[in-house]
Chains A and B, each alone.
Chain A
Amino acid sequence: MMLSIQDLKVYFFSDGRVARALDGVSYEARKGETVCLVGESGCGKTVSVLTILRILPQPPGRIMGGKVLFNGQNLLDLNEEEMQKIRGRRIAMIFQEPMTSLNPVFTIEDQIEEAILVHEKVDIEEARQRCIQLLKDVGIPSPEERLRDYPHQLSGGQRQRVMIAMALACNPEIVIADEPTTALDVTIQAQILNLFRELKQKREMSLLYITHDLGVVANIADRVYVMYAGVIAEQGEVAHIFHHPRHPYTQGLLASLPNRVKRGKTLHSIPGTVPNPAYKPEGCPFHPRCPDVIGTCRVQFPEMCDYGGGHLSRCPVLYER
């Protein structure tokens, strides 16, 4: 098991209120596997991965419990110095906004080389060669000339490629990509997705991919975790999730996807919005929006129900039917 998050609880304390952003989340990524974390914005996807790298702003966030096991080692037990050796070198991260995620006052070269130099003792010339090779790998044309550019001189897609190059700089064992294509144009999105697939084939690495786009999930994932309001609602292999969703939320999400069969009909939408993490409903967090709601949903937090083959869903109501 490469990376395994177990029963992670992260709360936010601000203005005298408690927002339970993560309420006991568990997921895992195996070696060489692509795992997708799906959910609406505000459901805790980003918080969970920031917690893995321990770069969650604290305060206001606070880790209330759980484990982050990386090759059997609990990252939450490490001190800051040991953690630094893992960040970027063994677990790398790519962020959502390529526009603001690169430091505007340093050149591309500076920023990629820094990722190498903080972890490895190599001389500057070698670092530069690796930098050029990385830029080539991520498909930036004429990398030698791009080295001296500042981020603002590149397009959004190119910046995201630079971010990816930076993440790959030390050959990490796992790359976490937090909605890397959300801020990009659709055509660029497709290119970046292809790049990810290509890189995965070439390198022995796991990918933890966060998105709210089910189309992307179908495209890239081996396994899927569906998150809702700080808990995992359903998990399983991509085929299971797409063909036999066992949770009303997943069903709702899939029903709202446009496809050929539904042409000409009104698209489905899930009523209501994601609850404010500071005012989560009692019982199942999804019950106010759920079409299958019954009395116990309002009082009792649902257990995971096993459908076999790694397919689990947090809805006893559908399980018993």
Chain B
Amino acid sequence: MKAYSENYFQKTGMERPLAPRETRWREGWRLLKRNRLAFAGLVIFILFFLIALAGLFLTSGTKPVFDPAVVRLEEKLRPPLSNAKLEILSSDRVPRLGLYLFGTDELGRDVFSRMLQGAWVSLTVGFVAVGIAVLIGILLGGISGYYGQNAMRADQIFLGAVLLLSGGLVLMGITFFGVVLLCVGGVLLVFFQWVKKRASKGVETAWTRFLWMRAISIDTLIMRFVDIMLCFPSFFLILTVVALLPASIYNIMIVIGLTSWMGTTRFVRAEFLSLRDQDFVTAARALGVSNWRIIFRHMIPNAIAPVLVSATISIATAILTEAGLSFLGLGVPPPHATWGNILSDGKNFIFDAPWLTFIPGVAILIVVLSFNLFGEGLRDILNPRLRERS
């Protein structure tokens, strides 16, 4: 048998035909372009983003380019693409270009301007609500998946409950009880510290044993909380809270966000649990890498892609939810236009002015569809097992 010279390795190293190297991003981009539906989704999504952004600038301010609020009762329910009757409108009420691109509604407001204004609402509601949900989801899911096995001690749970309750009471406006409880919490904190200090000197009683009883693991605690939240019928819960709170777009975003984080939490937890046992994490731990570094450098980058996919699809759901709320009259308060309330107002004129129903309806459909298609496409790209077979 011949020996392989050093020279040989160098030679083969240069000669060896390799598959062209691709970064993950570049490969993903190539696959995305091949998936026509997903690519169309992405294009529409970017277009929608630009339109919504433009809509924000063009319809706000004291003298907007497209004014969604001008009422022209003499020009009500004009069909799309009709010209404004310049002779009966005062000059400051003439629509831009003298044309009603999408027609007018029952108050003679320009539907095109209103749609522009509504686009921004849909976009922000979708992104902010899902942003809140994803943040909560990653935080709780991450804690549950990474630190889940650690048990909470009875004193910690007790202290947490007292502080949470007092905080809640103060926020709810029951200040007196809240402050009293807060003080009690503070005293308890000091007391527990004192007990701990004393116990470290070797004094252990039944009392301290009870306090340090390993009551329940963090994982169980968080997952039970998820179970509890899942018991509420989500749309009904959102409806209830939105109806009780003062009408505002921020309340809607927050409420949708606060009621839709459970899926992400479960997801991140499962992802973290499986990553925890992977060899590269064990290796990192063996090298003495700190917990935070492991979480942020090793685990989140691996867990984030599927979370982003589900977030994309959640944005679609959030946009639909907001539209549904607006449709029921519980959404963003008028006169601010959203696609849901344009449709809701328009439905009374569905036979006389079908565009008032169809334009916002189709717009919501297209945007939500684009998010769904893009999200599903991403999922296929990120899942190599599915990709091979499609």
Residues of A within 8 A of B (CB): 14-16, 57, 60, 251, 255, 268, 271-272, 275-276, 278-281, 287-289, 291-292, 298
Contacts and interface: CB of A to CB of B under 8 A. Distances in A.
Most central of B9, B17, B19 by chain A CB within 10 Å:
B17
Given A60-B388, A291-B2, A291-B4, A275 B12 contact: no
A16 B34 contact: yes
Given A271-B4, A278-B19, A288-B12, 20 more contacts: A14-B388, A15-B30, A15-B34, A16-B34, A57-B389, A60-B388, A251-B1, A268-B1, A271-B8, A272-B16, A276-B18, A276-B19, A279-B18, A279-B20, A281-B17, A288-B15, A288-B16, A289-B16, A291-B2, A292-B2
Given A14-B388, A16-B34, A255-B1, A271 B19 contact: no
A52 to B, nearest CB: 22
Given A14-B388, A60-B388, A288 B31 contact: no
A15 B31 CA distance: 8
A200 B2 CA distance: 39
Contacts of B2: 291-292
A271 B389 CA distance: 32
5 contacts: A271-B8, A279-B18, A288-B12, A289-B12, A291-B2
B58 to A, nearest CB: 42
Contacts of B18: 276, 279
Most central of B1, B34, B388 by chain A CB within 10 Å:
B1
Interface in B1-56: 1-2, 4, 8-9, 12, 15-20, 30-31, 34
Contacts of A275: 17
A287 B16 CA distance: 9
A16 B34 CA distance: 9
B7 to A, nearest CB: 11
Nearest to A17: B19
A255 B31 CA distance: 42
Contacts of A57: 389
B17 A279 contact: yes
A279 B16 CA distance: 10
Contacts of B17: 275, 279-281, 288
Interface of B: 1-2, 4, 8-9, 12, 15-20, 30-31, 34, 388-389
Most central of A279, A288, A289 by chain B CB within 10 Å:
A288
A281 B16 CA distance: 8
Contacts of A298: 15
A265 to B, nearest CB: 11
A272 B1 contact: no
A272 B388 contact: no
Contacts of B388: 14, 60
Contacts of A16: 34
Q: Which 5 A-B pairs have the closest CB atoms?
A: A276-B19, A288-B16, A281-B17, A291-B2, A279-B19
Contacts of B15: 287-288, 298
Contacts of A288: 12, 15-17
Contact of A271 (B9, B20, B30, B31): B9
A88 B1 CA distance: 44
Nearest to A285: B17
Nearest to B18: A279
A288 B34 CA distance: 33
A24 B16 CA distance: 23
Nearest to B11: A293
Contacts of A276: 18-19
A100 B266 CA distance: 27
Contacts of B16: 272, 281, 288-289
Contacts of B20: 279
Contacts of A278: 19
B34 A291 contact: no
Contacts of A271: 4, 8-9, 12
B345 to A, nearest CB: 49
A288 B12 CA distance: 6
A31 to B, nearest CB: 37
A281 B14 CA distance: 13
Nearest to B388: A14
Contacts of B12: 271-272, 288-289
A54 B4 CA distance: 42
Contacts of A287: 15
Nearest to A292: B2
A278 B31 CA distance: 17
Contacts of B34: 15-16
Nearest to A57: B389
A298 B15 CA distance: 10
B8 A291 contact: yes
A255 B12 CA distance: 19
Nearest to A245: B1
A209 B317 CA distance: 54
A278 B12 CA distance: 19
Nearest to B31: A15
A154 B30 CA distance: 45
B143 to A, nearest CB: 33
A60 B30 CA distance: 19
A268 B18 CA distance: 23
A287 B388 CA distance: 29
Contacts of A291: 2, 4, 8
A83 B15 CA distance: 44
Nearest to A268: B1
Nearest to B30: A15
Most central of B15, B30, B31, B389 by chain A CB within 10 Å:
B15
Nearest to A281: B17
A220 to B, nearest CB: 26
A58 to B, nearest CB: 12
Contacts of B31: 15
Contacts of A281: 16-17
A225 B389 CA distance: 30
A287 B8 CA distance: 12
B180 to A, nearest CB: 58
A291 B5 CA distance: 9
B325 to A, nearest CB: 43
A289 B12 CA distance: 7
Nearest to A12: B388
Contacts of A15: 30-31, 34
Contacts of B389: 57, 60
Most central of A268, A291, A292, A298 by chain B CB within 10 Å:
A291
